[in-house]
Structure 1
Amino acid sequence: MLLARIDRYVLSLALGRFGSVVGIIMLLMILEHIPRLLDITRLSGQRGYIVRQTVLGLLPEYAGIGVLVGIYLAVGMTIRQLAVRGELAVIEATGIGPLRWMRTPILLTFLGAACPSSEHLARLAA
């Protein structure tokens, strides 16, 4: 068994919040730039096409920012939810130490840190 039950539970809580936070961050960043893009392309004949292509080109950059902030907020909100519901006290009362039940969020953090780092290394290699 690759992940224990506690790991799957913490992972499911964190991933749900992670997806929501990344989606909200990307949406807010797109909404921030749409008025300026529409103003720049005001006189263009293919206004919608230019705006769509520009936004699609910016999505990877927005995702890179959203992943880092999303992991931070998702892990924090998950731990807060576990503490408020009293599940954290039950987990620790059963003898599971903090390092053990934090194994999955730590793994998520390393994976999230590896994504922008690999993109940066790919740019340096090119």
Structure 2
Amino acid sequence: MGFLTEFKAFALKGNVIDLAIGVVIGAAFGKIVSSLVDDIITPAILTPALKAAKLSNLSQLVIPGTAIKYGNFLSQVIAFLIVAVALFLIIQAINKMQRKQPVAAVEVKATKEEMLLTEIRDLLAGQKK
């Protein structure tokens, strides 16, 4: 098989396509979470702290005398925690849906050959005693 044929077989497998869809959805979800943190959580929760520090933006939080912007880091930590909790909840829901329901026992009738083999087995076991 040629390289292109093998690559086509690999790329069109269901798992690869599912992964690609997951990456695209994850990127969109990341943008939503970033917007949530930057536009809603930061202004609503951190505004009093920013006003107390006489700052207007979280990115202005820096360690004095350095270029370390820990405000941006805090924003990314909040975004990560939101994504982690959301994924945890999604995985929990998926696991609940995938739990197998107990299957009712189905009575299987033994064939004539199986019954004969069982009798032979029992007879041989009786002779060994």
TM-score bracket for the superposition, by shorter chain length: 0.3 to 0.5
Higher-helix-fraction structure: 1
Query: What is the TM-score of this pair, normalised by structure 1?
Result: 0.40
Q: Which has the higher contact order (CA 8 A, sep 6+)?
A: 1
Bigger radius of gyration: 2
Query: What is the TM-score of this pair, normalised by structure 2?
Result: 0.39
